Amino acid sequence: MVTGCVFDIQRFSIHDGPGIRTTVFLKGCPLRCLWCGNPESISREPSLSYMPDRCIACGACIPVCPDKALSSDSSGKVVVDRQRCTECGACPPECDPKALEMVGREMTVPEVLEVVQRDWKYYRESGGGMTLSGGEPLMQPRFVTELLLSAKARRLDCCVETSGYALWGVMQGLVPLVDLWLYDFKETNPRLHEKFTGKPNEMIISNLKRLHDAGVKILLRCPMIPQHNAHQEHLDGIVTLTRSLPNLLGVELLPYYDLWRAKLPRFGLKSEFPESVKPPPRSTMKKWQDYLRDRKVKVIG
């Protein structure tokens, strides 16, 4: 039976498509965005999370580690050697206070839908449904296809949030199964896009235009990152792009948030992204929105 690696299922989501939704977060992403909001989603495999504040210094996890990656400090709390750790998953079962946990687990389509369908009445009353997000859900094409097929058989409204960095054949196969594409567009300038995300944007733009020509519903979502893509050239690029896509539902500007920084130590990750970058104030967001509206862009929000 086909499975997918899921790192979270978030019920009562109201920002991932219309109505009340359940968002299924899948692991794996081809991009390396400097401001990644879900760094635990980058790897396709389950990731080891360690929260020292929960450690009670019992030491039960240390002898079960086959890689000898666990030791204790002077207070008895566990220390994880990330260079040695292979994230095999041997230690979390020994950790009663859940200081050590694996983030991401293989789930079957019925297991995911069992959770999603718990809120069926809210979907019916609000026009909501299921949203697939990540990471990049299209990195697990077989699982996503099977999940969407089963969801549509149950008459669930389905959204997919994607960076657009995927083979067109994968996206094309999902066109009949997706009610709304939440399409992230991070930077107009190809050179800056590669600098910020590690990948060029030509395939992303090409797939966007192909989806548009296929007649599907698309909401273009543009994260605005101060000192990076929050500049007039990018806004003008959004204007130019949307003029070539007259059937877009609209453009949604997303403010940068820095909550992801607190996640990094849990996974032994570090970032060189400047701490001086802060979320933009509402007045600045409104200024950017008005700039687009003045140029006849349909702005959502």
Shared-domain flag, residues 93 and 232 = no
Shared-domain flag, residues 153 and 207 = yes
269 vs 85: CA distance, rounded Å: 13
Shared-domain flag, residues 170 and 113 = yes
Does residue 31 sit within a domain?
yes
Shared-domain flag, residues 91 and 113 = no
Task: Pick the last residue of a domain from 86, 103, 120.
Answer: 103
Shared-domain flag, residues 151 and 233 = yes
194 vs 187: CA distance, rounded Å: 9
Does residue 260 sit within a domain?
yes
* Confidence class for position 301, pLDDT limits 50, 70, 90: confident
Does residue 160 sit within a domain?
yes
Shared-domain flag, residues 167 and 260 = yes
Shared-domain flag, residues 39 and 72 = no
Shared-domain flag, residues 264 and 123 = yes
Shared-domain flag, residues 149 and 20 = yes
Q: What are the tens digits of pLDDT across the range 18-61?
A: 999 999 999 999 999 999 999 999 999 999 999 999 999 999 99
Does residue 22 sit within a domain?
yes
Q: What are the tens digits of pLDDT across the range 10-25?
A: 999 999 999 999 999 9
Residue 84 lies in domain:
49-103
Do the beta carbons of residue 47 and residue 103 sit within 8 Å? yes
Does residue 300 sit within a domain?
no
Does residue 183 sit within a domain?
yes
CATH code of the domain in which 65 resides: 3.30.70.20
Q: Which two tokens stand for residue 194?
A: 């590669």
Shared-domain flag, residues 119 and 267 = yes
At 49, the amino acid letter reads S
CA-based nearest residue to 40, from 51, 29, 30: 29
Q: What are the tens digits of pLDDT across the range 159-191?
A: 999 999 999 999 999 999 999 999 999 999 999
Does residue 57 sit within a domain?
yes
Residue 180: count of CB within 10 angstroms of its CB: 20
Task: Pick the last residue of a domain from 103, 118, 146.
Answer: 103
Q: What is the pTM of this model?
A: 0.95
Q: What are the tens digits of pLDDT across the range 188-246?
A: 999 999 999 999 999 999 999 999 999 999 999 999 999 999 999 999 999 999 999 99
Beta bridge partner(s), residue 205: none
265 vs 188: CA distance, rounded Å: 32
